[in-house]
Structure 1
């Protein structure tokens, strides 16, 4: 990217920072983005883009055609939703919506895509079409699925689609991604064990004890990864909740106990093995204790798999912006999840991480009450999107 373009993007910094902090101060949960989507649509229309609201309920799509020849189209996607976390940053622009905050940087993601839309609307020196996709409900409420079900790519055709997420462990001005599996499939599971319960002091021998059963099950879960999954394949199974009995009646053995958690994997075969072995262990152990077991296994977001050609385009765009020394094209996959995976299953594309670390709140972990997006990263996100458009759709002399 030339210095003139970068300087023009940096000149938008104060305006974009104000937008970002306004969104941060008014966070909305997934499928509740009434104010956010309205703000996005208003800004886009004011900059002269063709805007469609209500895609997948609260999604917004803006269409921009370049002034050069070309029939190709690409999609640039960001997420708009916040999380159910009470903010503890104490910042002037902290959340005004009690119990809800932008703890994952989606306020920054939205702002950077808005900045790219504004810049490109004023500098249409590319050929083809850009679809700016502002997605609701990335955080587990099915926003990508809702937009796809509402005909996203049929109504707004693209040859490739791209996504981006901030990384508070990566310095500002750095980018990282990889071809192939980059983020994991994220599943939730709940096992309910049922027995007879009974008196834990006087007659435990007359009861079927689900507490010991669940303890054996939690330990046995660890054998799935260590003994049923090949060592070269990655998987995680974690217990996040155990409910049973009453602390007001600790001499009573409960008749029912519930165990729940998460499972992460990259490969479909590994995912199948986890669900199958979890069911076999629950039911087999329950039978050996004279109890019953019921497993509810909910498949969530699929693994996010970057396409090779589009990953190369993303890396080239980042390199043109910041130089090869600040771009990592062989990043390790992570076991976090991202529902952009659904869009990559529908169209070729790539997902990248961009640096957000700058000390203070921007270096706190995602999904924590002390996190805040680093505004110094905004020009790099805007610049990446602009560089990617020129990488994919070409550029014209001014």
Structure 2
């Protein structure tokens, strides 16, 4: 990303679609009543793909609902008490939020009032680079907090007093580091100091919100530099004391192995890399505390377990290919992991009937002998040759 930014917002393809044209007309975007805001503006200026369409408007939520419906678009009152209406039509999904100012309290828990003042709306946002507005469809930029200069300098800076912004919403601590990892050339000293001082505030957050930010951070291309800063500053200590700087070299090995194997980053794998190898109980405790889903918990705990076999495919047969790939990448063995990417567990080419056909009486002994065959078949590398399978069945039945 270069330090030079466009002087206008690059053209946004969705504004030329039938649904986009109808939406902008309904909300009087042409006269500046409604503007694109936040990450969509920031990312477009940086030449990054824009996944979310967030619009800020002087119109009241009721007026937005009425106008959108009259334009033949679907309006969903997803957060209408806080001024947000979601508009949906023909692949277009846009969130439209009335300009707001805080009346009492702050941030997510604030008592808000609607306003028509763009400065007031910008002042209650978190970082300057997230408080940029653009007129549509022309792309005129509106900056009330110095966000353009910060974006050009690759600086993530709180709007106003960082300590106050964190007091308003404690999640901003983790968001500061995640946005710094994505956009900052050098981490802002005032922001880092405030986050370090207020790290204990994370204890007041729900674990789901912490997990959401941790997932997003670990899924970045290279979260290692920012995690190094966070662990050195003790940011995770109040809520995830198990995360240790001593495991950062293991994470570095994991990230390098992912690249060498050509696999996508997996935040569960990277979380496991930051936890002590073999400590399944600790991994389970961390996963439970973060309230991860059952599949996510299973993946994190499986990744820290020792392999069931020294032979990767045999271990994959027992534990699943995903778990073994995770372990191998954490160990830095991309070459061994590659053959298991997308590997399908082969079907056992025999059943209890094959054991009975060899003279073993029906009953518990059949399952035991079938288990002997299965272990031999796995150890032999899953042969599908009929003669080899018959020989192993004979050996198991006559053991």
TM-score, normalized by the shorter chain, greater than 0.5: no
As a proportion of its length, which structure holds more strand?
1
What TM-score do you get using the length of structure 2 for normalisation? Answer: 0.24
* The structure with more radius of gyration: 2
Structure with more relative contact order (C-alpha pairs < 8 Å, separation 6 or more)? 1
What TM-score do you get using the length of structure 1 for normalisation? Answer: 0.24
